[in-house]
Structure 1
Amino acid sequence: MIIEWKYKETEPRTLKAFLKEKKVSKKMLAKVKFSGGQLQVNGEEVRVRHTLNAGDTIRMSIPIEPANPHLKPSEKSLDILFEDEYYLIVNKPAGVASVPSSTHREDTMANRIRGYIEKKQYMHKTVHVVTRLDRDTSGAMIFAKNALAHSMIDQNMRKQEVEKLYQVIISDVMTENHSFIEAPIGRTTDSIITRKVRIDGKPSLTEYWVEERFNNATLVKVKLHTGRTHQIRVHFSHIDCPLLGDDLYGEKSGYFYRQALHCSELTFKHPFTEQLLQVYAPLPNDLNELIEALRGK
């Protein structure tokens, strides 16, 4: 794959400084240098110490990425929300794991993306998972189509420049229309899976808005300001308002089989086009039916 930029500044600068500003990592540059890629300015191969001048055309070709032989392709269909030559954003159904594990090996979202890549015969075969969701959480997931695209959006993620909004149903009636939950989160001492609020945990901040109240539950929109494991589930359980159906941090529901949690919106500046991208994932049928049932109670 070839990425092209136009150098528009009037002051000269090194190619290395320019690529750093474009969020091309040192690891990516090493792949370009040693694994079959190439850097060109105005059609001539150069090194990163090359000085750029106004009007120069920079081209970077990145090495072809083979498929992981241990990741089996799945032919299950995808609900595609957005796709271009750099990113693929899909609406993950509940009950499907994001990546393979000892208990879920062959039909995860990564397997489905691998199958989609083969079907489309894309040049780069490696599956790059940018954002993950718990198996029983539905909603928008981002995949990158090559290592450079992954590296660039990952830097946005680390700087909290990818806004993620969720819709959740709380098993209680929330009184405040808008508030924050700020409480540090860390591992529980007796499990590698569960997390809890603890004084020595990592700083964690969750913001929420009430969208609709029911007799014994609340539909809430949630924004994560940090990205801790199980953050939404842990924070709402911490204030004694666990997610409906969340038997890990609350109580098992008699009428809803999973945590009522859906990643409904992603907003970020596209690392390549620099355009603001907003992607919406509609609520799945089970959550829509749950809301209608709650309205009738």
Structure 2
Amino acid sequence: MKPFQLNYIADANGLLREALQAWGISKRTLASVKYGGGQILVNGNEVTVRHPLVIGDAVTVVFPLEELGKGLQAEAGELEIVYEDEALLIVDKPPMQNTIPSREHPSGSLANFVAAHFEQQRIPATLHIVTRLDRDTSGLVCIAKNRHIHHLLSVQQQEKKMSRRYEAFLHGQLQQGEFTITAPIGRKNFSIIEREVRDDGQFAETEVSLLKVYSEFCHAMLTLNTGRTHQIRVHLAHIGHPLVGDDLYGGTREMIGRQALHCRRLELLHPVSGKALAFESRIRADMAALIR
């Protein structure tokens, strides 16, 4: 297996440590390179972070090989790959599939299938799922192929340079065309799974854009400005318009057998090249059937 590596050209004189920091390589990542079997090369020669750089020097960071977590088994299965390169994997997850294994569903998860894909492609990485979806929720999922790439994408999320847009069907009829829900979310007392809006919760913000109103529900586009667990589900229930099919938060499954939520669009900057990327996914047949 070939280890993941990144190449840079020094654009200023100074210590290598300072250049690595400017390129987004954290102290934690550097420690893993130093003690985990990686290398830092300047013009092909292995050096330490105290090495003095000269403009034009070629720097290569060779990252340590990663091992699959002991609790995750590679399992052959169908993946809908939307985009893939040496750093990223974007997949379209079907509904009723866990993103990662759980006690109730120990196999058949997206993570199991991706692990098998990595094995087949001889990619020396464990699973770094950047944008996780609930079991019921379908749509786009972003996966990093290296711990450092995961770190860079997490920074993008914190800096709001990554955008996720969801298509959803809500119970009732919204009265406003566009609005923002800003309400803190925390774990519900005495529950492992449920979340709720509560004063001591974490800041959470969801933008809502109404697409069309139907007799029993409405069709909306939702944008996450934060990424709290069950954020969309909790926020919509909080304003009295739970997701159609979301029986955990007040919806009913009379029209559809799962929460009617789909990650429709994913936008991000490529963590290596910096190029703007955008991906689209159509809603699944069970959701499309509601508006035919």
- State the TM bucket, normalised to the shorter chain: over 0.9
Distance 2:66 2:6 in 1: 15
Shift of 1:181: 0.8
Map 1:233-248; keep pairs closer than 5 Å: 233-248=233-248
Distance 2:213 2:72 in 1: 43
Corresponding residue number in structure 2 for 1:295: none
Shift of 1:179: 0.5
For 1:215, what is the secondary structure of its paired residue?
coil
Distance 1:160 1:248 in 2: 29
**Structure 1 unmatched runs, 5+:** 293-297
Corresponding residue number in structure 1 for 2:196: 196
**Structure 2 unmatched runs, 5+:** none
Corresponding residue number in structure 2 for 1:7: 10
- After TM superposition, the structure 1 stretch with the greater mean CA deviation from structure 2, 68-77 or 172-181, is 68-77
Residues 94-124 of structure 1, C-alpha deviations (whole Å, 9 max, x = no match)? 10111112111111110010111122232x1
Corresponding residue number in structure 1 for 2:272: 272
Corresponding residue number in structure 1 for 2:82: 81
Alignment of 1:161 with 2:161, yes or no, is yes
Residue identity (%): 37
Shift of 1:214: 1.2
Distance 1:17 1:163 in 2: 30
Shift of 1:284: 1.2
Shift of 1:4: 0.5
Distance 1:52 1:213 in 2: 61
Residues 123-154 of structure 1, C-alpha deviations (whole Å, 9 max, x = no match)? x1422221211000111111111222122212
Residues 218-277 of structure 1, C-alpha deviations (whole Å, 9 max, x = no match)? 111111111111111111111101111110111322121111111111111111011001
Corresponding residue number in structure 1 for 2:184: 184
- After TM superposition, the structure 1 stretch with the greater mean CA deviation from structure 2, 153-162 or 90-99, is 153-162
Residues 164-221 of structure 1, C-alpha deviations (whole Å, 9 max, x = no match)? 1111111111121111111111111121211111122112111111112212211111
For 2:223, what is the secondary structure of its paired residue?
strand
Corresponding residue number in structure 2 for 1:58: 59
- The 8 Å contact of residues 260 and 287 in structure 1, kept in 2 or not, is answered as yes
TM-score normalized with structure 1 length: 0.93
Distance 1:251 1:58 in 2: 55
Shift of 1:72: 1.5
Corresponding residue number in structure 2 for 1:222: 222
How many residue pairs end up in the alignment?
Answer: 289
Map 1:95-244; keep pairs closer than 5 Å: 95-122=96-123, 124-244=124-244
Distance 1:178 1:72 in 2: 44
Alignment of 1:250 with 2:247, yes or no, is no
- The 8 Å contact of residues 23 and 155 in structure 1, kept in 2 or not, is answered as no
**In structure 2, what residue type is equivalent to 1:107?**
G
Shift of 1:26: 1.5
Shift of 1:59: 0.4
Shift of 1:84: 0.6
**In structure 2, what residue type is equivalent to 1:140?**
L
For 2:95, what is the secondary structure of its paired residue?
coil
Shift of 1:52: 2.1
- The 8 Å contact of residues 163 and 268 in structure 1, kept in 2 or not, is answered as yes
For 1:290, what is the secondary structure of its paired residue?
helix
Distance 1:24 1:190 in 2: 40
Shift of 1:21: 2.1
- The 8 Å contact of residues 184 and 197 in structure 2, kept in 1 or not, is answered as yes
**CA RMSD after TM alignment:** 1.3
TM-score normalized with structure 2 length: 0.95
**In structure 2, what residue type is equivalent to 1:4?**
N
